């Protein structure tokens, strides 16, 4: 059973409604309610709410033995002011769906519509509307929730729209598809002084000026190599915005990025040793903590083959170009529990880039993404 024209109209309206009322990571309470309400008439066999924060899982069960197949989308928006100018632009200042998670959610809602009309022939489908992808804690929170065990999948699938790729084409490959990354926050602590007598204090100025280029130099290896590592300094601050005080404290933020999780452990160790040595040489104390931690996303070969079969059956162009990506994705967490795979759906070669203020999800991708997922589900479950 496929989507009707009326389905597409209503799914598009649903997507645009979500677009107008974005909620950023860990705040997706209203978005979760909208999902539950929109799919209520599909009569899912089980609805789990509050998973890992505001996550929602809807289960469509055949009542017969068979695998559990999970499809995941994201609920969260970004702290970006929208400048798209579309009629359904964000009504929330400083927040917007600039990554297309509203569209991904509409695609999963399309699956709910279809499974509401006809359950799988065997096993069950789990539609996982996940919170907090942008901050990296959403998938981990969902999987850590004790209730997740009751819906633990045998296969997990996801997608992400990708501007720069011809509309409706797919990029898919086994192995690494998204890098591991984490934000490293460094705090350097010395002693303030009057700006006329800086020698009476302990300034972090020299340490900051040394650390920023030294951190960047920890990166090495070509992106095509497993040894690839990259460090990007994203923020630095020092002292107060006054002329009369020599600074006594500073912060440096950097994003650490690797292809493999094992390489990330070594990069963290190298960065931490560099920070402590530099602080010690300047007579400073230091603190280090990590934020927005993403593991590497790895596509399992057997899950990739299920997607490739569906793409071939529907005549959708696909290849491995542009993969892997330097960007991170927390879907990799699901791959630690079952074979999983994510594919990337072209949003158009000239479409505004993800996270840009003029981006808007192309509504015409909704039926395409839903068709790929449905074909995959029916092949596995009937």
CATH code (residue 239)? 3.30.70.360
Q: According to DSSP H, which parts of 54-149 are helical?
A: 101-117, 138-144
Measure the CA–CA gap between 357 and 302, rounded to whole angstroms.
37
For residues 191 and 202, the answer to whether their CB atoms sit within 8 Å is yes
Asked if residue 315 and residue 278 are part of one domain, the reply reads: no
Helix (H, G, I), strand (E, B) or coil at 333: helix
Chain centroid offset of residue 68 CA: 23
In 3-state terms, what secondary structure has residue 271?
helix
Block residue for tokens 């024209």: 5
Same domain membership, residue 355 and residue 290: no
39 plus 105 within the same structural domain? yes
User: 216 and 148 share a domain?
Assistant: no
Rounded distance, CA 147 to CA 50, Å? 10
Domain boundary among 264, 294, 324: 294
- CA–CA separation, 45 and 22 (whole Å): 28
Task: Calculate helix-pair angle for 101-117, 365-381, nearest 10 degrees.
Answer: 50
Angstrom CA distances, 40 to 53, 123, 342, 367, stand at 21, 21, 27, 20
Q: What is the CATH number of the domain that holds 15?
A: 3.40.630.10
Whole-number pLDDT of residue 1: 62
Please answer whether residues 218 and 267 qualify as being in contact, where contact means their C-beta atoms are separated by less than 8 angstroms.
yes
Tokens read off for 40: 């209520």
305 and 266, same domain (yes or no): no
Domain that holds residue 319: 5-177+297-381
Q: Are 337 and 128 in contact (CB under 8 A)?
A: no
Q: What is the pTM of this model?
A: 0.94
Q: In this structure, are 126 and 190 located in the same domain? A: no
- What size, in residues, is the chain? 382
Per-residue pLDDT of the chain (382 residues; tens, 9 = 90+): 689 999 999 999 999 999 999 999 999 999 999 999 999 999 999 999 999 999 999 999 999 999 999 999 999 999 999 999 999 999 999 999 999 999 999 999 999 999 999 999 999 999 999 999 999 999 999 999 999 999 999 999 999 999 999 999 999 999 999 999 999 999 999 999 999 999 999 999 999 999 999 999 999 988 889 999 999 999 999 999 999 999 999 999 999 999 999 999 999 999 999 999 999 999 999 999 999 999 999 999 999 999 999 999 999 999 999 999 999 999 999 999 899 999 999 999 999 999 999 999 999 999 999 999 999 999 999 9
Locate 31 and state its tokens. Answer: 């978005």
| Residue-level pLDDT at 343 | 98
Whether the CB-CB separation of 278 and 340 falls below 8 Å is answered with no
Single out the residue in 294, 321, 343 at which a domain terminates.
294
d(CA 55, CA 35): 10
Task: Kindly calculate the radius of gyration of the chain based on its CA atoms and give it in whole angstroms.
Answer: 23
CA 119 to chain centre: 29
- Give the separation between CA 98 and CA 52, rounded to whole angstroms: 23
Residue 239 CA to residue 253 CA, distance in Å, equals 15
Q: Are 260 and 297 in contact (CB under 8 A)?
A: no
* CA angle centred on 125, ends 121 and 127, rounded to 5°: 150
Q: What is the total count of domains within the chain?
A: 2
Q: Encoding tokens for residue 42?
A: 């599909």
Tell me: do 362 and 347 sit in the same domain: yes
What H or E segment, with its residue span, contains residue 265? helix 261-281
Tell me: do 40 and 138 sit in the same domain.
yes
Q: For residue 224, what pLDDT is reported?
A: 86
Please check whether residues 328 and 195 belong to one and the same domain.
no
What pLDDT shows up at residue 2?
87
User: Do the beta carbons of residue 200 and residue 283 sit within 8 Å?
Assistant: no
Do residue 206 and residue 329 come from a single domain? no
Residue 222 pLDDT: 87
- Alpha-carbon distance 362 to 155, whole Å? 27
Count H helices and E strands in the chain, helices first: 8, 16
Query: Do 161 and 87 sit in the same domain of this protein?
Result: yes
Residue 273, CA distances (Å) to 49, 180, 211, 215 in order: 43, 20, 11, 11
**What whole-number distance in Å separates Cα of residue 39 and Cα of residue 109?**
7
**In the numeric block, which tokens belong to residue 241?**
């915005």
Q: Are residues 78 and 106 in the same domain?
A: yes
Q: Quick one: pLDDT at residue 25?
A: 98
User: Last residue of some domain: 271, 294, 317?
Assistant: 294
């Amino acid at each position: 059973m496929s989507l009707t024209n009326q389905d597409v109209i209503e799914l598009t309206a649903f997507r645009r409604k979500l677009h107008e009322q974005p909620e950023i990571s860990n705040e997706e309470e209203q978005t979760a309610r909208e999902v539950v309400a929109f799919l209520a008439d599909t009569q899912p066999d089980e609805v789990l709410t509050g998973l890992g924060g505001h996550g929602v899982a809807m289960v469509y069960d055949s009542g017969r033995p068979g695998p559990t197949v999970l499809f995941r989308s994201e609920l969260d928006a970004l702290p970006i002011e929208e400048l798209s100018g579309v009629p359904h632009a964000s009504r929330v200042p400083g927040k917007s769906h600039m990554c297309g998670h509203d569209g991904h959610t509409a695609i999963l809602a399309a699956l709910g519509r279809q499974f509401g009309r006809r359950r799988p022939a065997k096993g069950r489908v789990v539609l996982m509307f996940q919170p907090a992808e942008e901050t990296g804690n959403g998938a981990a929170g969902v999987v850590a929730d004790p209730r997740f065990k009751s819906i633990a999948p045998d296969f997990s699938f996801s997608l992400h729209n990708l501007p720069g790729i011809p509309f409706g084409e797919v990029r898919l490959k086994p192995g690494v598809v998204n890098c591991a990354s984490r934000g490293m926050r460094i705090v350097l602590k010395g002693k303030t002084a009057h700006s006329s007598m800086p020698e009476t204090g302990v300034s972090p100025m020299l340490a900051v000026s040394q650390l920023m280029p030294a951190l960047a130099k920890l990166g090495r290896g070509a992106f095509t190599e497993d040894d690839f590592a990259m460090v990007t300094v994203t923020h630095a601050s020092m002292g107060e915005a006054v002329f009369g005080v020599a600074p006594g404290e500073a912060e440096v933020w950097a994003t650490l990025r690797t292809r493999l999780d094992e390489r990330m452990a070594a990069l963290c160790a190298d960065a931490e040793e560099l920070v402590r040595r530099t602080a010690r040489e300047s007579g400073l104390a230091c603190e280090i903590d990590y934020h927005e931690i993403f593991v590497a996303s790895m596509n399992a070969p057997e899950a990739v083959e299920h997607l490739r079969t569906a793409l071939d059956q529907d005549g959708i162009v696909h290849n491995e170009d542009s993969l892997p990506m330097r960007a991170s994705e927390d879907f990799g967490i699901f791959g630690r529990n079952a074979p999983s795979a994510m594919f990337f759906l072209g949003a158009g070669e000239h479409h505004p880039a993800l996270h840009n203020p003029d981006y808007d999800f192309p509504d015409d991708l909704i039926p395409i993404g839903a068709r790929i997922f449905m074909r995959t589900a029916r092949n596995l479950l009937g």
